[in-house]
Structure 1
Amino acid sequence: PLVPALCERPGPAPLLPPLLGALMAGSADAREAAARALELVVLHTPAAMLKAHAVQVAGPLIRILSDRFGAPVKAAILAALRALMGAHAAVLRPFLPQLQTTCVRAVGDGSSRAVRLHGCRALAALAALSPRVDPLLTELAAA
């Protein structure tokens, strides 16, 4: 269900700076909470209102996922990325190589079943975005 306040201008714009700030510079708990909040914003905002912000949200999510954080932070970020991929596939095409590497690493994460599960779900969403799955399968086989 959509949140009425996110359906009209300015949409999610006022929520993004504090959430992205917490994601980029907060403690591990703050990063996890910010990622979960971003997932909810993506899920409850109409695609038309979120389209202009999709790249602004995707970049920090990918960047933070490559850092060394605990499993809860990684799982929350992967869930947010999956929601974003489902809502804005076309806008995220420039991020395909980074998303692919990120998801493959998550699938191979030996420390957390939750990260692997969210990685698999994100990888499934990513496969739907990718025009060719050959590179994805090659990277999975090499991992």
Structure 2
Amino acid sequence: MSLLANLNQDMKQAMKNKDKQRLDVIRMVKASLQNESIKHGKHDLSEDEELIILSREMKQRKDSLQEFKAAGRDDLVAKTNIEINILKEYMPKQLSNDELATIVQETIDEVQASSKKDMGKVMSAIMPKVKGKADGSLVNKLVLKYLNN
């Protein structure tokens, strides 16, 4: 089932359950998907394009969460955490730290990276492999860790 069909089905269920927060998040994701399809002049987005949009929405929430925590806005922290949990339901299964470390090490070996200067080369090779399955900042930290060894 496509993401949009899944969102429509979940939106109906959220309306029936009177789950306002879930409904708001679903509507927000649907709006982002529709805006992107209009921007690209397409009727249907590919799975990769949908995943990019979901990842962008997740990143925005995580960035906001850090700012709300720093500002001491516990009300917004709680709301944003709920939104992140709802978005996670639509994201692909995340890689474990061990799986991610293995991919990072293999990619470093593939591109024959040896120092921090090769960081861009390694990151550009890894990100397509882990798109949507791992947080970019976590990948970045692991690459730095392995290149410093």
Category of TM-score, reference length = shorter chain: 0.3 to 0.5
- Which has the bigger relative contact order, CA under 8 A and spacing at least 6? 1
| Structure whose residues are more often helix by fraction | 2
TM-score scaled by structure 1?
A: 0.33
Structure whose CA Rg is larger: 2
TM-score (norm 2): 0.32
